[in-house]
Amino acid sequence: MDALPIACGGFLLAVLWFDLMFDVQVLHHRDGELPDPVLRSIADYYRRVTVEARPMGHAVGLVMVVALAALVVQLIAGRVPVWVSVVSLTLVAAPVALAARRILPDAMRLGWRSDPVAVQSELARRICRGHAYCFASIAAFLVVQLAATTR
């Protein structure tokens, strides 16, 4: 069993779960501007985890890099079928890229609360959608890895 990719996936899934506990507040307000208490709650959380939690906030990025590297090693070493490694790499690389290019910058921007309320509301909704996608992708990655390594 390749424990390192699975451990990384479990860590990332847990982080996403905590993010989603704040993100889901947007689901009760489908249209328009979010109420200030909702925006404040979400923005305060993202300010804490993206700006104020240094250096611990970097741990998530490090785990993402370690997961990708471990999957490349898994592919090269041939410990599991090639398709498992390729599918796993895809299921991890897509959310990592989304997090780096859009979710993290959006979360930092929301955390500062310097945009108009309409923009903050859209940022919060976009972060929620991104995290939901990432959660599903990382969960699928763990299913693939666990199914392949328990044979």
Q: How far is CA 87 from CA 16, 93, 135, 141, 148, in A?
A: 20, 10, 16, 8, 11
pLDDT digits over 18-63, tens only?
A: 999 999 999 999 899 999 999 999 999 999 999 898 788 789 999 9
Q: What percent of the chain has pLDDT over 70?
A: 99
Flag whether pLDDT at 122 surpasses 80: yes
Flag whether pLDDT at 1 surpasses 70: no
The 3-state secondary structure of the chain reads CCHHHHHHHHHHHHHHHHHHHHHHHHHHCCCCCCCHHHHHHHHHHHHHHHHHCCCCCHHHHHHHHHHHHHHHHHHHHCCCCHHHHHHHHHHHHHHHHHHHHHHHHHHHHHHHCCCCHHHHHHHHHHHHHHHHHHHHHHHHHHHHHHHHHCC
The reported pTM is 0.94
Flag whether pLDDT at 137 surpasses 80: yes
- CA dist., res. 120 & res. 126, Å (int): 10
Give residue limits of the domains in the chain.
3-149
Mean pLDDT of 85-89: 97
| pLDDT-based confidence at residue 151 (cuts at 50, 70, 90) | low
Higher pLDDT, 30 or 17: 17
- Average pLDDT of the chain is 95
- CA dist., res. 4 & res. 74, Å (int): 10
- CA dist., res. 144 & res. 129, Å (int): 23
Please, what is the end-to-end C-alpha distance for the chain in angstroms? 9
Mean pLDDT of 64-85: 95
Q: What percent of the chain has pLDDT over 90?
A: 89
